[in-house]
Structure 1
Amino acid sequence: MAEPLAHHRPGGKPLGTAATRRGVRTAERHGSGRASGSAGIIRVASVPANHVYVRHLSPPEGDRVTRLADPRPCGAPSGSQQWWPPVMLDPGWVDEHADTFDVFHLHFGFDAQTPEALRELLGTLRRNGKPLVYTVHDLANPHHLDEGEHRAQLDVLVPGADRLITLTPGAAQEIAARWGRTATVLPHPHVVEPAGLLRPRPRNGRFTIGLHAKSIRPNMDPLPVVRVLADVLPELPGAVLRVDCHPDVDDPESHWYAPGVLDELRRMSREGRLELSVHDYFDDDALWDYLIGLDVSVLPYRFGTHSGWLEACHDLGTTVVAPSCGFYAQQRPCLIYEHDRQGLDAASLRDAVRTAYAERPAWRADPVERGAERFRIARAHEAIYEALL
């Protein structure tokens, strides 16, 4: 799993469509039921399968649901866990593998697909008698500055899916208002593995406020947030501000190039206003070490919907200060400041950080309840699949 968790959907070249179809299967030939020999098992073509959110849709001991492994994309290194761009989104793959799955479940990874390509995918699923479940993680894509492309994709997927799932009541209300569809609300399962839910938090005497700018995705506006955090720091005895960033934002050849950002952060670091750490993506263990070492994690988003980062912080007991955009406060307990496409309200951010410092909220997930919640989420998915079949 890459550092940005449920919201890391690397783009890729459009998969296109197959010019020829081998072994085209129709609904008349196969019907909508399960293939013979799959007694009691529900086989799901999940896009993706090897992502922590999807893996945790099943309980640790397993259940009736089995998810197909992600096909290796062309050009991906042998033995790698790379799932993007998802091969299953090619209608040709659906035609050739229709007898290997019962339900198609889309989560994310369709960033590079045109609305026309998604319509063809839906048509191919219908022709093969395969129901589509779509979990609406993002109503605004954090990787797209322009909302138009993602809206056009949603205008195909949301009306075309047989069943819809989303993570919060607010997202479900927006889906109902925009498309007249009902989405089942199921919470995000835990992100950190069960053993990590029991990990004790460190005690070092410092109050560490963290902001991770990552590679500065289009939905991030870190510098205004960092400036406010640095200004409020002198009011908080013993507090430090840690800012992390990936080096590609300083590379003119990189897709993520953000000129001037690291220059300002380095200047503020030299002035003693923050501690700057520039590094490549964390692996899972390094990410958990980073998050559990923070008292507060500030999300510098100006648009978005849900957050896997917030879920990981909840697993580890790190307080989150989240923006008012999206539905973060409906996901897990957090402090909210005003930040959206129109800009940042500095006073609300200062107040949220002061509250976190003064009150030290204890919002860590209970490991037993997190496990029980995962079981309930798994059973709810199984029931949705079964009803469709």
Structure 2
Amino acid sequence: MHQGGTRLRVLSIPAGHVYTAAIRPEDVEYLPDPDIDGHWWPHPALDAAWWEDLPAEQLPDLVHLHFGFDHLTPGQTGAFIQALRSRGVPLVVTVHDMDNPHLKDQTDHHEKVRLLVDAAAARITLTDLAAAHLPVGTRVIPHPQVVTDPPPGAGNGQAPGVFLKSLRGNVISDPFFYRILARTVRRELGRPLRIHLHEDPATGDLVRALSGGRLSGVIDLRVHAPMSDHTLHEAVAECRTVLLPYLRGTHSGWLEMCRDLGVSVAVPDCGMYEGQADDPQGVEKYRTGDPLDAARALIALYGRGPVPYAGDRAEQLRQIRAAHRAVYREVTGR
């Protein structure tokens, strides 16, 4: 085990992701991500064989696994755990996804999470709701700030909106859902539902189904290339409230982004999204996949008006980093 100096050397999987970069304590070193054709995944350290040849002086003080293990089978996950044990490297696991948003069949994912949680020297998750489904002693450390430089006018948006991007696997793609949602919102609020979609082969059918005709004035359809973070933040800030159109999942960085911008969020009841809220007035839960209940949630939020973020993000980030530092020092005894 590496003992040089006082800085802990943590193999964070991943290290350079916006979330993991934000939570890293200043006196902790995260080992750099590999460059695999310009990406960090699949991280080679998740392969048990990687540990067999690693010189003792290069061993990290601990491994902190967040995500990126989708490609592993449960058997390979068990082999990874055993490899860490054989080298005496403790494992810290943050459970971001109790349900993997990109998978319809959760069987293998649930088994892998169980194996990792059972083997971990420390377990972390983002909400009390998620912790209630994990072993006693799981620490709750909230999601940090996403937007550090809000655009002018953030918190004064007026549109009810939904951002579908390129229709990833956990996003509702049925045009019927959006037609019913938009017509109900238009009738009750007198405003069209603003729908953002990427220009992408995957979105073509939905774009055609939501364009023109009797939906004119009901749907404000905006089809565009993927946005930079700054442009995205401006687009979200033009909304008073935004709907998360998810079919599954657990926690959401998108929700945190909206709340940083003072935008309220209609969230499905399939995950732990409601439990992320800084202010109960800033979210409204709806039945997953139900367009009428989704419309009810959007309309209720719209009627509340702007809901600014409740709390001090800078102080929260200080506490988040201190909490991770405490976990790392506890599991290493340093």
Structure 2 residue corresponding to 1:228, chosen from 180, 195, 200: 180
**CA distance in structure 2 between the partners assigned to 1:45 and 1:314 by the alignment:** 30
8 A contact 2:161–2:194 mirrored in 1: yes
1:377 match: 320
**CA distance in structure 1 between the partners assigned to 2:108 and 2:114 by the alignment:** 10
Structure 2 residue corresponding to 1:354, chosen from 299, 317, 328: 299
What is the letter of the counterpart of residue 228 of structure 1?
Answer: I
**CA distance in structure 2 between the partners assigned to 1:41 and 1:330 by the alignment:** 34
The 5 Å alignment of 1:321-336 reads 321-332=266-277, 333=279, 334-336=282-284
Count of residues in Structure 1 that have an aligned counterpart in Structure 2: 326
2:50 match: 93
TM-score, normalisation: structure 1: 0.77
- Deviation for aligned residue 1:218: 2.4
- Deviation for aligned residue 1:229: 2.7
Q: Evaluate the alpha carbon distance shift between residue 269 and residue 208 of structure 1 in structure 2; reply closer, same or farther with a 3 A threshold.
A: farther
- Deviation for aligned residue 1:260: 3.2
1:300 lines up with 2:245 in the alignment: yes
**CA distance in structure 1 between the partners assigned to 2:300 and 2:152 by the alignment:** 25
Q: Deviations over 1:323-352 (max 9, x none)?
A: 122111110133324323xx4161x32322
Root mean square deviation, CA, Å: 2.3
**CA distance in structure 2 between the partners assigned to 1:224 and 1:150 by the alignment:** 30
Q: Deviations over 1:302-343 (max 9, x none)?
A: 221111000011111111111122111110133324323xx4
What is the letter of the counterpart of residue 130 of structure 2?
Answer: A
8 A contact 2:192–2:217 mirrored in 1: no
1:211 match: 162
Q: Evaluate the alpha carbon distance shift between residue 175 and residue 345 of structure 1 in structure 2; reply closer, same or farther with a 3 A threshold.
A: farther
What is the letter of the counterpart of residue 68 of structure 1?
Answer: L
**CA distance in structure 1 between the partners assigned to 2:96 and 2:317 by the alignment:** 17
Q: Evaluate the alpha carbon distance shift between residue 56 and residue 139 of structure 1 in structure 2; reply closer, same or farther with a 3 A threshold.
A: same
- Deviation for aligned residue 1:240: 3.1
**CA distance in structure 1 between the partners assigned to 2:180 and 2:251 by the alignment:** 24
1:127 lines up with 2:86 in the alignment: yes
**CA distance in structure 2 between the partners assigned to 1:283 and 1:269 by the alignment:** 32
- Deviation for aligned residue 1:136: 0.3
SS at match of 2:69: coil
Q: Please identify runs of 4+ aligned residues in structure 1 that moved more than 6 A.
A: none
- Gapped regions of structure 1 (runs ≥ 5): 1-29, 252-256
Structure 1 residue corresponding to 2:195, chosen from 243, 262, 285: 243
**CA distance in structure 1 between the partners assigned to 2:108 and 2:318 by the alignment:** 35
- Deviation for aligned residue 1:211: 0.8
Q: Evaluate the alpha carbon distance shift between residue 288 and residue 258 of structure 1 in structure 2; reply closer, same or farther with a 3 A threshold.
A: closer
8 A contact 1:71–1:88 mirrored in 2: no
1:338 lines up with 2:280 in the alignment: no
Q: Evaluate the alpha carbon distance shift between residue 268 and residue 101 of structure 1 in structure 2; reply closer, same or farther with a 3 A threshold.
A: farther
- Deviation for aligned residue 1:224: 4.3
8 A contact 1:46–1:68 mirrored in 2: yes
**CA distance in structure 2 between the partners assigned to 1:268 and 1:166 by the alignment:** 46
Q: Evaluate the alpha carbon distance shift between residue 238 and residue 207 of structure 1 in structure 2; reply closer, same or farther with a 3 A threshold.
A: farther
2:329 match: 386
Q: Evaluate the alpha carbon distance shift between residue 363 and residue 202 of structure 1 in structure 2; reply closer, same or farther with a 3 A threshold.
A: closer
Which moved further from structure 2: 145-154 or 103-112? 145-154
What is the letter of the counterpart of residue 321 of structure 2?
Answer: A
Q: Evaluate the alpha carbon distance shift between residue 154 and residue 238 of structure 1 in structure 2; reply closer, same or farther with a 3 A threshold.
A: same
8 A contact 2:159–2:238 mirrored in 1: yes
Q: Evaluate the alpha carbon distance shift between residue 297 and residue 345 of structure 1 in structure 2; reply closer, same or farther with a 3 A threshold.
A: closer
**CA distance in structure 1 between the partners assigned to 2:214 and 2:122 by the alignment:** 50
SS at match of 1:266: coil
Q: Percent identity?
A: 34
- Deviation for aligned residue 1:236: 4.7
Which moved further from structure 2: 325-334 or 312-321? 325-334
8 A contact 2:160–2:302 mirrored in 1: no
What is the letter of the counterpart of residue 338 of structure 1?
Answer: Y
What is the letter of the counterpart of residue 138 of structure 2?
Answer: A
Q: Evaluate the alpha carbon distance shift between residue 97 and residue 331 of structure 1 in structure 2; reply closer, same or farther with a 3 A threshold.
A: farther
SS at match of 1:175: coil
Q: Evaluate the alpha carbon distance shift between residue 274 and residue 198 of structure 1 in structure 2; reply closer, same or farther with a 3 A threshold.
A: closer
8 A contact 1:317–1:365 mirrored in 2: no
8 A contact 2:274–2:285 mirrored in 1: no
SS at match of 2:147: coil
- Deviation for aligned residue 1:100: 4.4
